[in-house]
Amino acid sequence: MSANPHTLVVDGLNWLSRFVPCDDRQYQGAKPSVLFAEAHARVAKFARVLKRAGITALFVFDNGQTTEEANEKWLERRKREVETGVRNMPANAEGLLKALFEEHGFTILFPSGIDGDDAVARLAIKMDCHVLSRDKDMMRYGLPRGRVLSDFAIQADSIKFRVRDDRPRVAGRDVSQIPCDIQDWKPKGSTLKINALEGKLRRGNADGHTRTLGNLNATVRPLRAALYARLGIASVEEHLPAWKNGAFAMDVTVVHPDPAHDSLLDDPLAMLTWITCNANGAQFEDRKHAAAMAAAEIHDAASEPDARTSAMRIYDEYTALLPLASIPGDVSHGWCAFGPCYGLRGKSCFGNGRCYPTQLDHAALIGKDPLCMSCCAKLQEILEASRLRKQLQGTRIY
């Protein structure tokens, strides 16, 4: 089943790995500059096919830490990164993705203090439009049937969407009372600056080396202390993942302003040089990336606003410090293409023979042949019939 929406509200973070392909087999071990160059090409392709289809898209991003459930997921991911020493997604990739979407004319929204799923659903209800999200919990909001799209595939210059129509896994959720004003949801500037002014800052792992080399975000702390001094902040409580006494921990440090490095704040290259001189393992590509991203973010927070958004300013400074790899003329083959459905136990496919990318990824993950939506529905029908037969056999009187 596919839908042809006129307007899409997109859960931005939900699609981060589709555009920044850190988990794709062909990009395993790739430098951040290569991943971002591919992201550049993918966003351009996505924008082109949406324009051709006459579809308007609004991207909603959140900080992923608004609700207790989201906070627990965030902590679990940071813990796993520290314990395994693996962080595939480059630091602040979501910020770069915002800039790329913005560069292609998409509306970017950042509703402060509102859960991302709640915000996406609330906006879609208000605008009477479709949602694009892989999150199954999106079904709990009572959106009209056919309005939740769980995947997309691009064939030539045409885009098709997969409709999610299953029952919600959790209780329904009413978001009607959430204030919803697009102007209020526009990004308000540097999130680093906003968090600092609120007196509390939480950052994750800058790369995968926290356990062995320490969190690079802790190394950068003297530069943030200079920023706090420039902003006239009394102190900031910083929360950073760490490896302490042989275990994962969230390190809490009250950082007081210190203008000692104020002269570096206006020079991203000088900040990058300072960070790499003070960081263990600065030769690692992901650590170089994280250092450049930190310098760009601090420079943005320390500078007077201009016509650009914070995401674009950070993107411009970052790419000046670490230029992207050569941007490909087109995206990698098959990044968002249909794949074949193999049918059920040798039977021909019950549908159109095509699987969406998420179905292909899931099948590869569990070691099974991919099934299209029609075959999945048929399989569920068979399983349900089998379950009912067993129930009847169990209640039969002899």
Question: What pLDDT score does 329 carry?
Answer: 65
Contact call for residues 254 and 224 (beta carbons, < 8 A): no
Give, as one character, the DSSP assignment of residue 92: T
Best CA proximity match to 302, nearest among 216, 225, 215, 235 = 225
Residues 140 and 203 in one domain: no
Is a pLDDT exceeding 80 seen at residue 166? Answer: no
Q: Is residue 311 part of a domain?
A: no
User: What are the residues facing 339 on neighbouring strands?
Assistant: 355
Residues 71 and 95 in one domain: yes
Last residue of a domain, one of 186, 211, 243: 186
CATH number at residue 38: 3.40.50.1010
Is a pLDDT exceeding 70 seen at residue 331? Answer: no
Q: Is residue 88 part of a domain?
A: yes
Return the percentage of the chain with pLDDT > 90, whole number: 71
- Alpha-carbon distance of 250 to 174, in angstroms, equals 33
- Alpha-carbon distance of 160 to 40, in angstroms, equals 21
Question: What's the pTM?
Answer: 0.89
Residues 94 and 16 in one domain: yes
Q: Is residue 313 part of a domain?
A: no
Question: What pLDDT score does 28 carry?
Answer: 86
Question: What pLDDT score does 357 carry?
Answer: 92
Q: Is residue 316 part of a domain?
A: no
- Alpha-carbon distance of 42 to 100, in angstroms, equals 10
Residues 40 and 113 in one domain: yes
Is a pLDDT exceeding 60 seen at residue 267? Answer: yes
Mind listing the pLDDT tens digit for each residue in 97-111?
Answer: 999 999 999 999 999
Question: What pLDDT score does 155 carry?
Answer: 87
Residues 173 and 103 in one domain: yes
Rounded to the nearest integer, the mean pLDDT of the chain is: 91
Is a pLDDT exceeding 70 seen at residue 333? Answer: no
- Alpha-carbon distance of 190 to 196, in angstroms, equals 10
Is a pLDDT exceeding 70 seen at residue 397? Answer: no
Question: What pLDDT score does 390 carry?
Answer: 83
More confident of the two residues 77 and 155: 77
Q: Is 58 helix (H, G, I), strand (E, B) or coil?
A: strand
Return the percentage of the chain with pLDDT > 70, whole number: 94
String of DSSP letters for 114-163 = S-HHHHHHHHHHHHT-EEE---GGGGGG-PPTT-EEEEEEEETTEEEEEE
Residues 168 and 127 in one domain: yes
Residue 125: both structure tokens together: 């209800």
Residues 171 and 117 in one domain: yes
Percent helix, strand, coil in the chain, to 5, is: 45, 15, 40
Mind listing the pLDDT tens digit for each residue in 170-222?
Answer: 788 899 999 999 999 999 999 999 999 999 999 999 999 999 999 999 999 99
User: What are the residues facing 354 on neighbouring strands?
Assistant: 340
Give, as one character, the DSSP assignment of residue 27: G
Residues 88 and 15 in one domain: yes
Is a pLDDT exceeding 50 seen at residue 279? Answer: yes
Q: Is residue 309 part of a domain?
A: no
User: What are the residues facing 46 on neighbouring strands?
Assistant: none
Counts of helices then strands in the chain (DSSP H, E):
14, 11
Is a pLDDT exceeding 60 seen at residue 398? Answer: no
Mind listing the pLDDT tens digit for each residue in 376-390?
Answer: 888 888 888 888 888
Mind listing the pLDDT tens digit for each residue in 7-56?
Answer: 999 999 999 999 999 988 888 889 999 999 999 999 999 999 999 999 99
Last residue of a domain, one of 186, 201, 219: 186
- Alpha-carbon distance of 199 to 238, in angstroms, equals 9
Mean pLDDT over 252-273 rounds to 98
Last residue of a domain, one of 186, 215, 240: 186
Residues 379 and 239 in one domain: no
Residues 240 and 168 in one domain: no
Q: Is 283 helix (H, G, I), strand (E, B) or coil?
A: coil
Q: Is residue 329 part of a domain?
A: no
Contact call for residues 264 and 270 (beta carbons, < 8 A): yes
- Alpha-carbon distance of 217 to 219, in angstroms, equals 5
Q: Domain count for the chain, please give it.
A: 3
Question: 240 is in which domain, residue-wise?
Answer: 190-304
Residues 242 and 262 in one domain: yes
Question: What pLDDT score does 362 carry?
Answer: 87
Residues 351 and 242 in one domain: no
Is a pLDDT exceeding 50 seen at residue 168? Answer: yes
Q: Is residue 319 part of a domain?
A: no
Question: What pLDDT score does 122 carry?
Answer: 96
Q: CA 132 from chain center: how many Å?
A: 13
Contact call for residues 143 and 172 (beta carbons, < 8 A): no
Q: Is residue 274 part of a domain?
A: yes
Question: What pLDDT score does 3 carry?
Answer: 63
Q: Residue 76 — very low, low, confident or very high, per pLDDT cuts 50/70/90?
A: very high
Give, as one character, the DSSP assignment of residue 212: H
Mind listing the pLDDT tens digit for each residue in 285-315?
Answer: 999 999 999 999 999 999 999 999 999 999 9
- Alpha-carbon distance of 111 to 201, in angstroms, equals 18
Residue given tokens 């203090």 in the structure block: 113
CB atoms within 10 A of CB 30: 19
